[in-house]
Amino acid sequence: MAIRIKDLVTKEKAMRQGHRMCPGCGAPTAVQQALLAVEQPVVITAATGCLEVSTTIYPFNAWGVPFLHSAFENAGASVSGIEAAYVALKKKGKVTKDIKFVAFGGDGGTYDIGLQALSGAAERGHDFTYICYNNQGYMNTGAQRSSATPKGANTSTAPAGKVIPGKIQKPKDLTAIMAAHHIPYVAQTTIHNPMEVIEKVKRAVETPGPAFVNILTPCVLFWRLEPSLQREICKLAVETRIWPVYEVIDGQWKLGYKPRKRVPVEEFFKPQGRFRHLFKGEAGQSVIEAFQKDVDEGWEYLLKMCGETWEPQA
Amino acid sequence: MSRKDITSGNWAVAEAMRQINPDVVAAYPITPSTDIPMRFSEFVADGLVDTNLVTVESEHSAISACLAASVSGARVMTASSANGVALMHEIFPIAASYRAPIVFGLVNRSLGAPINIHCDHSDSMAERDSGWIHIYCEDGQEVYDTMIMGVRIAEHKDVLLPVFVCQDGFITSHCFEPVEFMEDDEVQAFIGERDPLFPLLDIDNPVAYGSLALTDYYFEIKRQQVEAMKHVERVYKEVAQEFAKKTGRDYPVVDTYRTDDADHIIVIMSSAAGAAKDTVDSLRERGHKVGCMRIRLFRPFPAAAIVDALKDARSIAVLDRAASLGAPAPLFTEIKGALYDAGIHIPTNTYVYGLGGRDFFPHNAEEAFMDLINNKMSPEERYLGLRE
């Protein structure tokens, strides 16, 4: 069924007002958009992180749907357990409704500490959607570096110092890692355009079997970003090809968007305080150049996987 | 009706699980408990159970999936040992706090290092403050029976706590001995259906598990767990009484052997009680008034029953199969505490035995008894069967 915005805006939201996420935070935007087009009842599970602590401060609860959190590294195992119980209880007639299962984890809980549980859940083939709200660091504990943190970013455990200019390593390509599990649906997207997340998560949830969606979501506090720039920074991530949007459906890679022009990575850095040090001196400049090279290589790889070519306007 | 068969402790657990027919089992292999999920997976493959078996990629995911399935409303079981138990540690107090009635076949094995696959109680003793019920079994029959009783105790509305059913790795888990099994329908009639409170899958009545509760509420929630634990001994006795009526097998919270008129008593747990009881018989034949008390329910700690059995003794030896490095051994500490609270001072020796699977022989028990008989009393920790 086609998605109509008129229907979406009147739909009761799974996550309600009163949560305590920061103004401008990308995570609640991603969650709201993700769940908007899901027509079936959902049960949510989340890894420990900003989303979880800010939505369930006892005795308050922002979730209008069933919600489970138990620890940081086990959202993949938790969603497996819920789905396993559902399958067993449905067979016995103790649960009668069709229910969908969505897990949320930040990049710390997904790229790093929760990767094993997610990989196991994907390999076992449970019917669930795992959404990583990727804000490129351990933001709940104060901006420590993760394996999703971009090269050159100033973080609290890879700070920009006199000798070392922030995080040295490039991030792990988790979306490709999940695609390598050969699960039926994998997508990478961000919140630059609401229909992007709405459509992709709907597809993910309606696909039987495991689905993974990696959503870049700004942390305005630790990206040192003006909160009103939430959408713009995501658009820049896509335009600079730092965060291309694409899907892998049953092993077929499908590019979602090709920028018309070659936009340098600096455009993504400029609005963010976490990259400010890169614009001061030669060390920073060499990081920017290395970053650009990584982005260009990643883009070439993606084009090849998608069977696409790219001819940007001069 | 019942049938008797020769089986191992692990297979007895698996057979109980087949008859219980849980909704979800999530498990991961580790010696010596591996036999349990292996045997159970054959039942799944042969269509003998309806269970959704989740063969997870780690023990951490095993207990995480079990917890999620349990709060979803499913009846859930698993098994593990040693390092697997240690890897699960993070989730144990969470499972207790969510009041998830998981029944867990814990096959005791020493914690590394050095890496060692044999029995001691260091794995489960490290979980004694996790909020789980701990029951220690002496033999395969008791393991089988306790798995079945465990379901009733864990799921009781006044309790709603997960339970460890402990047996000694290899000694019990791999020893083949006669076990009397109930009929499948008798087991089903005894355990009944699970009637979950606040299941996650009740879409029309949504609940949140896993809230953040800080300085303003955390303490009160922990206090509720303390209260739940207080109900366990009563519920245990009710369930055990009903079980005894059905099967003729009676399991008090502490198992006393010739303690009534005993001057000297050994306190011990699990399979080593066999050697200790044999030693009681041989020393009785030689005119010594000795007895043995085996602690079956360890959490919650049945202090009153223990004091009642020990109060008239002249001296006591507490034998621990785990050391608390840098402090007195765990069972010894608890026994002393129970006696102190009752205002009873009985000289008590403390021994550590059997670490890493070191055999415990009747002569080791006799050594401890002879110390008591010869009044060689000391608060110093001593070791049985150790080369020094």
Confidence of residue A92 (pLDDT cuts 50, 70, 90): very high
With a pLDDT cut of 70, the percent of chain B lying above it is 100
Q: How far is B156 from chain A (nearest CA, A)?
A: 20
Whether pTM exceeds 0.95? yes
Are the Cβ atoms of A78 and B68 closer than 8 angstroms? yes
Q: How far is A186 from chain B (nearest CA, A)?
A: 21
What is the pLDDT averaged over residues A101-113? 98
- What pLDDT shows up at residue B1? 62
Chain A contact set for B217 (CB, 8 A): 58-59
What is the pLDDT averaged over residues B251-266? 98
Are the Cβ atoms of B56 and A120 closer than 8 angstroms? yes
Pairs of residues, one from chain A and one from chain B, whose beta carbons lie less than 8 Å apart = 163
The answer to whether residues A122 and A94 touch, using CB atoms and an 8 Å cutoff, is no
CATH 3.40.50.970 assigned to domain B2-247? The reply is yes
Are the Cβ atoms of B67 and A88 closer than 8 angstroms? no
- What pLDDT shows up at residue A5? 87
The answer to whether residues B25 and B104 touch, using CB atoms and an 8 Å cutoff, is no
Going by C-alpha positions, the residue among B198, B162, B71 that lies closest to residue A68 is: B71
Can you name the CATH fold of B254-384?
Rossmann fold (3.40.50)
Put simply, whether A141 touches B (Cβ < 8 Å) is no
Q: In this predicted model, what pLDDT tens digit does every residue of A204-256 receive, in sequence order?
A: 999 999 999 999 999 999 999 999 999 999 999 999 999 999 999 999 999 99
Residue by residue, DSSP assigns A300-311 as HHHHHHHT----
Put simply, whether B73 touches A (Cβ < 8 Å) is yes
Of A59, A66, A85, the CB nearest to B69: A85
Q: For B217, which residue in chain A has the nearest alpha carbon?
A: A58
What is the pLDDT averaged over residues B109-135? 97
Confidence of residue B234 (pLDDT cuts 50, 70, 90): very high
Confidence of residue B253 (pLDDT cuts 50, 70, 90): very high
Put simply, whether A95 touches B (Cβ < 8 Å) is yes
Burial bucket for residue A186 (CB in 10 Å: 0-12, 13-18, 19+):
buried
Give all domains of chain A, ordered by start, each with its CATH number: 5-306 (3.40.50.970)
Whether the bond into B300 is cis, omega within 30 of 0: yes
Q: In this predicted model, what pLDDT tens digit does every residue of B55-74 receive, in sequence order?
A: 999 999 999 999 999 999 99
Q: What six digits make up the tokens of B377?
A: 């009393």
- What pLDDT shows up at residue A221? 98
- What pLDDT shows up at residue A4? 87
Q: How far is B205 from chain A (nearest CA, A)?
A: 8
- What pLDDT shows up at residue B209? 98
Put simply, whether B346 touches A (Cβ < 8 Å) is no
With a pLDDT cut of 90, the percent of chain B lying above it is 99
- What pLDDT shows up at residue A314? 83
Cα dist from B110 to A207, B8, B35, B170, B272, whole Å: 45, 20, 18, 12, 15
- What pLDDT shows up at residue A7? 87
Q: In this predicted model, what pLDDT tens digit does every residue of B273-308 receive, in sequence order?
A: 999 999 999 999 999 999 999 999 999 999 999 999
Q: What six digits make up the tokens of B220?
A: 């009160």
The answer to whether residues B266 and B368 touch, using CB atoms and an 8 Å cutoff, is yes
Put simply, whether A147 touches B (Cβ < 8 Å) is no
- What pLDDT shows up at residue B131? 98
- What pLDDT shows up at residue B381? 98
What is the pLDDT averaged over residues B263-271? 98
Of A58, A99, A120, the CB nearest to B61: A120
- Give yes or no for residue A11 having a pLDDT over 90: no
Chain B contact set for A56 (CB, 8 A): 208, 210-212
Q: In this predicted model, what pLDDT tens digit does every residue of B300-340 receive, in sequence order?
A: 999 999 999 999 999 999 999 999 999 999 999 999 999 99
Are the Cβ atoms of A97 and B203 closer than 8 angstroms? yes
- Give yes or no for residue A176 having a pLDDT over 80: yes
CB atoms within 10 A of CB A180: 13
- What pLDDT shows up at residue A37? 82
The mean predicted confidence, pLDDT, of chain B is 98
- What pLDDT shows up at residue A1? 62
- Give yes or no for residue B32 having a pLDDT over 70: yes
Chain B, 119-138: which have a CB under 8 Å from a chain A CB?
none
Q: How far apart are CA B31 and CA B48, in angstroms?
A: 25
Q: How far apart are CA A122 and CA B125, in angstroms?
A: 34
**B73 or A2, which is more confident?**
B73
Q: How far apart are CA B140 and CA B177, in angstroms?
A: 7
Are the Cβ atoms of B73 and A73 closer than 8 angstroms? no
Q: For A67, which residue in chain B has the nearest alpha carbon?
A: B208
Of A64, A94, A117, the CB nearest to B64: A117
Chain B, 85-124: which have a CB under 8 Å from a chain A CB?
90-91, 94, 98
- Give yes or no for residue A52 having a pLDDT over 80: yes
Domains B2-247 and B254-384 belong to one CATH topology: yes
- Give yes or no for residue B130 having a pLDDT over 70: yes
- Give yes or no for residue B38 having a pLDDT over 90: yes
Beta-bridged to residue B136, according to DSSP, are B166
Burial bucket for residue B81 (CB in 10 Å: 0-12, 13-18, 19+):
buried
Confidence of residue A275 (pLDDT cuts 50, 70, 90): very high
- Give yes or no for residue B364 having a pLDDT over 90: yes
Q: How far is A312 from chain B (nearest CA, A)?
A: 45
- What pLDDT shows up at residue A3? 85
The answer to whether residues A95 and B74 touch, using CB atoms and an 8 Å cutoff, is no
Q: In this predicted model, what pLDDT tens digit does every residue of B189-219 receive, in sequence order?
A: 999 999 999 999 999 999 999 999 999 999 9
